Amino acid sequence: MLRKSRRTFLKSASLAGAALAAGRLPAGRAAATAAQPPGAGARIYIDPVQKIAPLDRRLFGSFIEHLGRAVYGGVYEPGSPLADARGYRRDVLEEIKNMRVPAVRYPGGNFVSGYNWLDGVGPRDKRPVVLDRAWNTIETNQFGTDEFMEWCRLVGTEPIMGLNLGTGTPEMAAALVEYCNQEKGTKWSELRRAHGIERPHNVRYWCIGNEMDGPWQIGHMPAR
């Protein structure tokens, strides 16, 4: 009985869609289909011109996390014949450009909840190798905030920076915002400039934490 009702419903809905495509249903006016099998009481209303609200392109964004080969061996692989002089994979750059990804979040994901952003900036030979507590892997910190910003510019996407709400502090988060967005004259902006990046990154979008109400998350806390 259920199978028959579903088939009747889907058949009626398909006929209504075909009628709409053929122009037999009036545009600008809701058209109720005849999809009402006995006892179901279901209706489909089609209005091809009504717009509830525009969709923000950033809804179709993505993210990069220090997980598996997403960063190392993915977007960044120095020494690979597929990488450019900076270590960014050319094939990945081109694919992301072609996809026109509107926004990318970094550095995660679960990874952000144990990440100290200071480990991933400055001269690479001075960056610490640490244990990533989210995925229990070794993190070399050879790819960090400044590399991510440069990569975003190369692919033409908007950066969304994640803030550590697991082991981080408000002071650490504020320092990262200052590092990224203050032009000069402050502690953290001058650190960025000392790293050879004079112009601020001007990050407009920030993500506070990641799935903090999940028991798998570093620094897990209840939803309320």
CA–CA separation, 132 and 218 (whole Å): 11
* Domains of the chain, earliest start first: 2-46 (no CATH), 57-208 (3.20.20.80)
Question: What is the pTM for the complete model shown?
Answer: 0.76
**DSSP string spanning 89-127?**
BHHHHHHHHHHT--EEEES-SGGGGG--GGGGSS-GGGS
Strands 45-46, 158-163: pairing kind: unpaired
Average model confidence (pLDDT) for the chain? Answer: 87
Distance CA 203, CA 148 (A): 12
- Say whether pLDDT at 27 is over 60: no
Mean pLDDT over 50-54 rounds to 82
Shortest CA distance to 13 belongs to which of 37, 39, 38? 37
Q: Say if residue 94 is exposed, middle or buried (CB neighbours under 10 Å; 0-12, 13-18, 19+).
A: exposed
Coil, helix or strand for 145? helix
Q: Which of 4-18, 124-138, 173-187 shows the lowest per-residue confidence on average (mean pLDDT)? A: 4-18
156-203 pLDDT, tens digit per residue, is: 999 999 999 999 999 999 999 999 999 999 999 999 999 999 999 999
Question: Has residue 33 got a pLDDT over 50?
Answer: no
Residue 152 has pLDDT above 70, yes or no: yes
pLDDT for 74-104, tens place per residue? Answer: 999 999 999 999 999 999 999 999 999 999 9
Instruction: Reduce the DSSP state of residue 30 to 3 states and report it.
Output: coil
Radius of gyration of the chain measured on its C-alpha atoms: 25
Would the pLDDT of 125 be above 90?
Answer: yes
Banded pLDDT at 43 (limits 50, 70, 90): confident
| Residues with Cβ within 8 Å of residue 217, at least 6 apart in sequence | 110, 113, 166, 210, 211
